[in-house]
């Protein structure tokens, strides 16, 4: 079976065979050298579509070190060289334990075993002018503009826009909030119209990236965390590039600058005063005008967008996804509610296992275990127990409570003595 990445490579190779792309342009799209592109073309010609699949897929490398060497190296490092770097640990393994392993191999073993962490190195870049991408769909810039689009005639709106780097073809929608859900809706509209681009270029907003703490150690591992949009892009096979400054994504910034002049005036003349009216003018008037008058011709007209396949379920991918653990009674807790999994969907491994909970854009909830969706029903909360009945007896006075508290049946005098003491006169009063 070909993976999504294999099919994407195969599409580019077919474009080369048909003469739509040169080998150098194909290498730039795939990240390969010209020599490797020629080799892949030869394998596809000889073996067919399976030529893009690596021959060692699913097989153990012939140059892999024996498993006992790996176990011995990890055992020695964990016991004696826990705080050693991979280079120094390799020297001591060869010198004192006769375990010969390269520094990089040992580093990978330590990372896989959780004995080593990877450090993300900062890369300093200088902003320089760069040419447009050659093909449409290679790079699409994505951003949001906050502006008084309706000039006080209606609610506050945000303009979410996507512009192609090669042609400046634009796609945009007005939304009420610059939220993850609204951006996913705009992404879904773009994908349905034009397909999957190779990469998106955005800023470092919290919608696209998480602010992770800077690791202290030189090779400290940091678990990769993705936002909901980042996860959706990965599941769609779309790359993501973060801009380090507004100037780096100048194409879409200029689009917003033009829109804040032309679009605002157009909305004013159209007397748009609501979200629906603003989007109607945007789709029917402004975007066609922009795509006719303010776009460029790509250096290569071959479209790099890829079609959506069956495995790309947009309703599932463009949703808010979280994981939950199934309790022993086959229920999950999500957002303060309890959901019971249907009896027919109970299978081996479900109890105590992790399920994927998808809160979709239409408000529905879907729960997936491994490769299958399971039915769920919300459990009604248990009725609260009624409060205990209030006694109708009048509370005793403080004097009576004090007298009863000090009264001891075992040490108290008999009843006749108490009555005699109450009826006899006091010696002081006679």
Q: Is the pLDDT at 192 greater than 50, yes or no?
A: yes
What is the reported pLDDT for 55? 73
Q: Give the pLDDT of residue 217.
A: 55
Q: Is the pLDDT of residue 419 over 60?
A: no
CATH fold of 139-293 reads: Nucleotidyltransferase; domain 5 (3.30.420)
pLDDT at 367: 95
Highest mean pLDDT: which range of 116-120, 391-395, 417-421: 116-120
Structure tokens at 69: 């060497």
Over residues 398-426, the mean pLDDT reads 55
Mean pLDDT score, 402-408: 53
In this prediction, residues 348-374 reach a mean pLDDT of 93
Q: What is the pLDDT of residues 290-346, one digit of tens each?
A: 999 899 999 999 999 999 988 899 999 999 999 999 999 999 999 999 999 999 999
Which residue did the predictor score with more confidence, 190 or 65? 190
What's the pLDDT at 298? Answer: 93
Q: What is the pLDDT of residue 411?
A: 55
222 or 175, which is more confident: 175
Give me the pLDDT at residue 157, please.
Answer: 96
Mean of all residue pLDDT scores within the chain = 85
pLDDT band for position 216 (50/70/90)? low
Which of the pair, 27 or 56, is modelled with greater confidence? Answer: 27
pLDDT score of 430: 44
Condensed to tens digits (0 to 9), the pLDDT of residues 117-153 reads 877 666 555 556 778 999 999 999 999 999 999 999 9
Beta strand pairing status for 354-359 and 365-369?
A: antiparallel
Residues contacting 379, CB < 8 A, separation 6+: 331, 337, 338, 339, 340
Which is it for the CA torsion 96, 102, 106, 107, positive or negative? positive
Contact 150, 157 (CB under 8 A): yes
- Between strands 337-341 and 372-374, the pairing is unpaired
Which range (124-138, 160-174, 179-193) has the least confidence?
124-138
Q: Tell which wins on pLDDT, 162 or 407.
A: 162
């Amino acid at each position: 079976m070909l993976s999504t990445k294999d099919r994407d490579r195969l599409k580019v190779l077919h474009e080369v065979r048909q003469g739509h792309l040169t080998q150098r342009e194909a290498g730039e799209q795939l990240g390969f050298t010209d020599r490797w592109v020629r080799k892949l073309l030869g394998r596809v010609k000889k073996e067919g579509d399976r030529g893009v699949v690596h021959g060692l897929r699913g097989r153990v490398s012939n140059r892999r070190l024996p498993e006992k060497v790996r176990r011995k190296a990890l055992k020695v490092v964990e016991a004696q060289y826990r705080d050693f770097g991979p280079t120094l640990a390799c020297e001591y393994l060869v010198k004192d334990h006769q375990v010969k392993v390269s520094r990089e191999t040992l580093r990978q073993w330590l990372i896989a075993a959780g004995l080593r962490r990877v450090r993300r190195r900062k890369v300093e870049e200088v902003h320089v002018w760069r040419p447009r991408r050659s093909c449409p769909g290679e790079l699409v810039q994505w951003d949001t503009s906050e502006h008084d689009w309706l000039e006080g005639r209606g609610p506050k709106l945000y303009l979410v826009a996507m512009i192609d780097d090669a042609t400046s073809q634009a796609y945009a929608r007005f939304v009420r909030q610059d939220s993850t859900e609204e951006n996913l809706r705009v992404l879904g509209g773009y994908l349905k119209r034009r397909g999957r681009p190779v990469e998106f270029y955005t800023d470092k907003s919290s919608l696209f990236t998480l602010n992770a703490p800077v690791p202290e150690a030189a090779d400290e591992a940091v678990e990769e965390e993705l936002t909901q949009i980042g996860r959706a892009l990965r599941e769609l096979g779309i790359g993501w590039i973060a801009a380090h400054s507004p100037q780096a994504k100048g194409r879409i910034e200029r689009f917003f600058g033009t829109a804040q002049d032309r679009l605002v005036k157009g909305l004013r003349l159209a007397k748009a005063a609501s979200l629906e009216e603003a989007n109607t003018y945007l789709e029917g008037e402004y975007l066609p005008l922009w795509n006719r008058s303010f776009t460029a011709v790509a250096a290569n007209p071959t479209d790099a967008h890829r079609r959506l396949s069956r495995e790309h379920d947009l309703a599932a991918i463009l949703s808010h996804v979280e994981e939950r653990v199934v309790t022993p009674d086959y229920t999950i807790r999500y957002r303060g509610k309890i959901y019971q999994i249907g009896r027919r969907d109970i299978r081996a491994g479900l109890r105590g296992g992790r399920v994927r909970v998808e809160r979709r854009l239409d408000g529905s909830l879907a729960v997936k275990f491994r490769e299958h969706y399971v039915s769920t029903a919300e459990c009604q909360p248990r009725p609260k127990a009624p409060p205990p009945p209030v006694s109708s007896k009048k509370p005793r006075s403080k004097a009576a409570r004090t007298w009863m508290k000090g009264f001891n049946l075992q040490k108290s005098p008999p009843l006749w003595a108490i009555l005699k003491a109450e009826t006899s006169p006091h010696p002081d009063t006679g």
